[in-house]
Structure 1
Amino acid sequence: MSDVKQRITDIVTGNDVVLFMKGTPLFPQCGFSNKAVAILDHCNVAFESVDVLQDMEIRQGIKAFSDWPTIPQLYVKGEFIGGSDIMMEMYEAGELQALFDEKQVAKAG
């Protein structure tokens, strides 16, 4: 598990915004991942995605890493933010965009 934990740490710390999701941003494989991608797109931030369906070690490891049982999971500047419900609450309250601005996250392409 330590190898998986190190891989996840490298991904989370190596990218400003990371979404661990089922599928890809162009082809999400669940409604929650689709919602999370839509929120990030609407916030116009650049983000990396990790398709947990392609790597079972990451799929299980990310749940232990964050102590959060579900996917998708959003990380901003190394900090675990939450899943799609938390993202939606923060987005609707204006907190998610404020977080991206505060952390000086790069805008999407």
Structure 2
Amino acid sequence: MAERDAMLAERDALRGELRVTKVERDLLKEQLKAFERRLFGAKSEARSDAQRDLFLNEAEALAPTAATLPAQEDDTDSTSVAGHKRGKPGRKPLDPVLPRKVIRYELTEEERVCQ
């Protein structure tokens, strides 16, 4: 019996040490994550995904629902707007009034032959 009680006491002691070790490990993991966020995280005021989710959930809760929205009327008095064309991409041509200087380079017959 004494041997059994000693083993049970040792088992309980080991379980207690294991529990303490797990808590220390979890605390060190959290501390490591905090250091990594501080070292490698965004340097601006950008929010993490967890913080962003908090604000999104709050916004969804405050958003009006179909029951709280007033009944919408027909849009008979709305006006339609004609579309517009986009301009051509690229550089605009130079003004034709600007002076032009044409320079022609003549090659000799030997230089005109392709190799």
- TM-score normalized by the length of structure 2: 0.17
More strand by share: 1
TM-score of the superposed pair, with normalisation by structure 1: 0.18
Relative contact order higher in (CA < 8 Å, ≥ 6 apart): 1
Larger Rg: 2
Write 1 or 2 for the structure with the bigger share of helix. Answer: 1
